[in-house]
Structures are given as structure tokens and as C-alpha cells.
Structure 1
Amino acid sequence: MSALPVFAGCRILVVGDVMLDRYWFGDVHRISPEAPVPVLKVNRVDERPGGAANVARNIAALGAEATLLSVVGNDEAGLCLEKLLGQHGNLTALLHRDPSVSTIIKLRAIAQQQQLLRIDFETPPSHEVLNAALEDYRVQLPLADVVILSDYGKGGLAHIAQMIQMARDAGKPVLVDPKGEDYARYQGATLLTPNRSEFRQVAGGWRDEAELNVKAQSLRANLQLDALLVTRSEDGMSLYRADDVQHEPTHTREVFDVSGAGDTVIATLAVMLAAGADLPDAMRIANRAAGIVVGKLGTAVVSREEIVKDMEG
């Protein structure tokens, strides 16, 4: 691929678990007298959309149109998330408020660019709110070029099997970022994008590349997927389809923070497919985007301009 497609006008529907990534940055100069733990003197607080919200933010940063469908609590963190997402003109956030839950927060304490601690706040959404979200999905589906189901295992995708079936019936490619050990609910998706450890959790370990290929193709066939993409950190990415296997080596660069890299990968794949690219080309560009984003601290995004510059470099 010599040139990057134009993503303006590409429409991606993102459904999944959203969260607020909150960062406390500061300095550590002493150990607490109360317990053998460092004392962090906070000098800066940063907040960013996380989970499926970070996927949508990555789509918007690439210049495509993102519609995000999810559930938040009726609380300060939910309002904060709404406000952050509202800063992107090409991102529409349809967030159902569930007063019975708290918006998911991942709080990270960071000193000298090292994470000291992460604290999670979360409760699963109610059945009624999930049913309302499914109705929104029914309405939004015909407007999308590609669908992303971003599963963080927090309960927001209880209807995922039905959502995949609806997308396939509508002729829409559906990309799934999976979680947990039960992949049966992802059956029939166009593409599944587990990372290496997530894939190992489901398929078991492997001794060599040949055994990995057998396990990947077996999982792809059993789940009736068009393709399976395993992201493998420093070993790049591997794309498994019925007729072939393609491997894309990683672009060597300094790794600063891998959090959110999977969000960037699936967002880039979706906009590439929506722009008419084939899967191998989409994988190559997603691999470049991941290489750029791991050089940034925290959940971050990659712009189309950064990818173009990286291709020229």
C-alpha cells in the first residue's frame, strides 16, 4: 500500500464498556510512616476516555465518524466522560444513564512516569438499561459502515451474540475485541482481535509457530470467523484466514505504555475496512498505529497525519 485512504465520511458504530481513565501524576520523596508504601504528592490530575470510549476517540482522531453506544452511571464520572467525548466534533456519544451503577473508573497513580498503583471502581449495568441500548443499536446499525464491539468484560455487552447476528444479517462487518474465556458468544463475527495473552487463555500454550497456527486456525474455524488477528506485542501481528496466514513484524521503537494499544488497533482496522482496504493492508496500517501509540503515556490516540509521517519515515 503506497498511500493511506481518506477516512472522512467513514462511519463506525462502537458498542461496549466505557470507562473514565483518571491519572494522578506526582512525585515520591519518602515512604509512609504508616505502612511500607511510597507517598505520592499529587501535582497534576488528567482524565481521558477509556475502554470503548477510547476506541471511539481513536476513530475520531483518524478523521472518521464515530458513534458510541454504552452505559454510564448517573454520576460525576459519567458527566466527565460525556464532556470529554463532546470535544470531538465527529464523535456522537449515546450514553444511557443507569442510576443503579457507578461509571467505571480506572484510577492510576504515576510518579516519574512509572505506574505505582491502579484502583478500579465498577458495577455491572442493569438489564433494563442494556435492553434500551440494544434498541439504540437496532436504530444505528443501518447507518454504519463497520461495527466494533469492544468487550472489556464489564457487563455492557450482555447481548453481544444478538448484536453480531444483527450486523451480519445487515451485511455489516463486525470487529470484536474479546475478553474472558468464553469465546462462543463471538461466533460469526467478521474479525476477532485478541492479544497474545488473551488468545493463550482460550487456546492454551504453544511450543512453536506451527502449533500456534494450528490453534489459531482451529479457533477461527470453530467460531466461524472470517478472520482472526492475534496481536503479539514485540512479535508483531498475525492474521489468520481460511486460505492463508500473514504475519506483520513490529516496528522497532521505544515502548512507553501499552495501555489502550488494542483500542488503537481495532479502531484503525475498522476505518481502513470502511475506506475500502483489504484486511492485510488494514493490519499493516493498524500495526503502524499501534507502534506510534505505545510511545505515548496512558490511553492515547493516533492521527492520520502521524501514520502518514510514519509511512514516509
Structure 2
Amino acid sequence: MTKSKAELILKKFKDKKVLVIGDIILDKYIFGKVSRISPEAPVPVVEVTEESYRLGGAANVANNIIALGGKAYISGIIGKGTTGKIVRDLLEERGIGLDYIFEDSRRTTVKTRVIAGNQQIVRFDIEDRRRLEGKSKENFLSMIKSSLNDFDAVIVSDYRKGVVSEELLRILVERKKKNGNFIAVDPKIGHFRLYKHVSIITPNIVEASHGAEVEIKDEKTLIKAGNNLLKKLMCDFVLITRGEEGMSLFEKKGSDVTVTHLPTVAKKVFDVTGAGDTVIATVTLAYVSGADMVSAAKIANVAAGIVVGKIGTATATPKEILEILKTHPYA
């Protein structure tokens, strides 16, 4: 893939409209410095210097699409309290469509990370994992079903916080079979049975091991796991993210499976938070913008390498991607 080819693909991002369905999370960051240990317990005392909120979970996937130049709409559940308002304000500020958001009596999921220097000290979560039920679920699914034709792709961002269900995936897959919709899923352990017949799943090593029921410990077991996932889920592509070792793409070609290994392009790794969100947003936008899946995965690999070099939940831009492609072997 040449840099000029990548540039043509990236330019098409602005014309693409993506619906992100899943668990909306608010990421709170508390930054500070540590100079002593508490006399009360053997723990560091963090002197707080800054606090900030960022979009997480499905909201960060949508945020990545916006950063890449695409159009993003989000569908999920937020609470009616203060944190729900913070999420809504952040979404509006980023230009993410709110037409498909539901407010509920449940708490908005909040992940709070305490960071001193470049090191995360602790994380604590506030969440409600109850599944969406009753009239709320019925209305949610009805809204999704009626809106799918308005989008170039759908991304399911599953954190097992209650939004993603068997009924939801059934609706998405039926529409895919009928109209060829591109359905991408960032999976979660325990939900792999739901993802049959989607277009692509993007598990990390741990998720792929669980989903394929193969312990990935070397290239041989990696290939076995990728093949197992393609066979079990009957999807078109499996993209396994492998951290510092890059990514591996598995794709069906007739009765055969082609495997493409992509080494990481990250120069430094400060924080892997949200890297999976960047991968699925980028690979989806690239594919529906005309890239073949290998090229789409290469662009997503570059984007992931960019965000892990930043602190906190981050995004990559087309300009940053093209800068990397000036000198990377992909070019």
C-alpha cells in the first residue's frame, strides 16, 4: 500500500456515516505527582494537579471516527444524573450524533484512573451491568432496526454493561444478509456466541484465546485460534490485536484462509487505554471507504501505534497517520 493510496482512502472518510452501538463509558482522569508514602498504609499519596473527563467505551469509538474525519452517531444508555450530562456535553462538543441515545435510571458507567507522572496508580469503576429489559429494550431495538439503512457501517462496542444482546445482533445480521451492511464488533469475553455472521471482529489476544478456546502462546496457536474464530463465528474477517507484536488478520478466500501479520509501528507505548477503539473505528472507516481489508488493517495498525504513544484515552488523525506512512515500510 503506497502513501498516495492511503491518502485517497483517508480523504473518503469524510463521506462516511457510522453508527456505534454499545456501552457508553465516561473516563475520568486524575493527574498528580507522588513524593511520599502514606503513614496510614503502604500506598503512595497523590497530590492532585488536574482532573479531566474523556469519552470511553462506545463513545470513544465514535470519538475516533470524528477524529478521523468521518461522521459518527452513537446509540447506548446513559444515566439521568450529573455524569450522564457530562457524557452528553462531551458528545455534543465533539459533534457526535445523539439521536439514538437513551436515558435510564441506571448509573452512567464511570472509570476513574489516577495517574502520577506517566504511571497509572489505580483505577476504580462505578457501573451497572443490568441488561436492558422490558419496554426500554423493545424501544431501543425498534429504533435500531428502523435506522440501519442510514449508515455506511455499524460498529458494536461490547463491554458487557447491558446494551449488547442476542436480539440486537440478530437484527444487525439479518440486515447484513439482506442489504450487505458492514457490521464490525469489538468483542467481550462471554459474548462470543452472539457474534455469528458479522463482518469482522477485533479481539485482543486474551479475548481471542477465550473465544476460540485456544491458549495463544506462539504463532502456531495464534493461527489455530484465528482459524477457529472464523469457523465458529462464520464471519468474514478476524483481526487479532497483539499489543507490542502488532496485529494478525485472518480472512476467508473461498475455502482457504489467508493470514497477514502486521508488526507494530508504535515507537513508544505510554498507555494502551482505548487502542482497541481506535483499531475498530479505523479499520471500519477504511474498509467502507474502498480499501481492501489488508490495507484497512495496515491503516488501523498505524493509528493504534499513534494512540498508544499518548497518555489516556486518545485518538489518531489522518494527518498523523500520513506522517507515519512517509517513512514506514507500508509506504
Superposition pairs of residues 120-159 of structure 1, within 5 angstroms: 120-125=125-130, 126-127=132-133, 128-158=135-165, 159=167
Q: Residue in 2 aligned with 1:214?
A: 224
Superposition pairs of residues 290-305 of structure 1, within 5 angstroms: 290-305=304-319
Q: Secondary structure at the match of 1:257?
A: coil
Q: Residue in 1 aligned with 2:182?
A: 173
> Is the aligned partner of 1:115 residue 2:120?
yes
Aligned-partner Cα distance in 2 for 1:153–1:74? 20
Letter paired with 1:217: N
CA contact (8 A) 1:11 1:274 kept: no
> Which stretch of the first structure deviates more once superposed, 77-86 or 237-246?
237-246
Aligned-partner Cα distance in 1 for 2:309–2:59? 20
Q: Residue in 1 aligned with 2:109?
A: 104
What is the CA distance between 1:51 and its match in structure 2?
0.2
Q: Residue in 2 aligned with 1:201?
A: 210
The normalised TM-score by structure 2 is 0.90
> Which stretch of the first structure deviates more once superposed, 7-16 or 212-221?
212-221
Aligned-partner Cα distance in 2 for 1:170–1:216? 27
CA contact (8 A) 2:214 2:224 kept: no
Aligned-partner Cα distance in 2 for 1:32–1:206? 40
> Is the aligned partner of 1:41 residue 2:47?
yes
Letter paired with 1:22: K
What is the CA distance between 1:154 and its match in structure 2?
1.0
Aligned-partner Cα distance in 2 for 1:264–1:211? 26
Letter paired with 1:136: M
Q: Residue in 2 aligned with 1:160?
A: 168
> Is the aligned partner of 1:67 residue 2:73?
yes
Distance 1:252 1:80, change over 3 A: closer
Letter paired with 1:149: V
Query: Between Structure 1 and Structure 2, which shows a larger proportion of helix residues?
Result: 2
**Match for residue 201 of structure 2 among 179, 183, 192:** 192
Q: Deviations over 1:190-238 (max 9, x none)?
A: 1010011111223221454233212311221121111111111111111
CA contact (8 A) 1:167 1:173 kept: no
> Which stretch of the first structure deviates more once superposed, 237-246 or 185-194?
237-246
> Which stretch of the first structure deviates more once superposed, 133-142 or 202-211?
202-211
Distance 1:252 1:295, change over 3 A: closer
Q: Secondary structure at the match of 2:272?
A: coil
Distance 1:206 1:56, change over 3 A: closer
Aligned-partner Cα distance in 2 for 1:147–1:248? 25
What is the CA distance between 1:271 and its match in structure 2?
0.8
Percent of matched pairs sharing the same residue: 40
The normalised TM-score by structure 1 is 0.95
What is the CA distance between 1:37 and its match in structure 2?
1.5
Q: Deviations over 1:219-270 (max 9, x none)?
A: 2112111111111111111111123111111114110100100000000011
> Which stretch of the first structure deviates more once superposed, 252-261 or 194-203?
194-203
Distance 1:277 1:75, change over 3 A: same
Q: Residue in 1 aligned with 2:38?
A: 32
Q: Deviations over 1:45-68 (max 9, x none)?
A: 010000000000000011111111
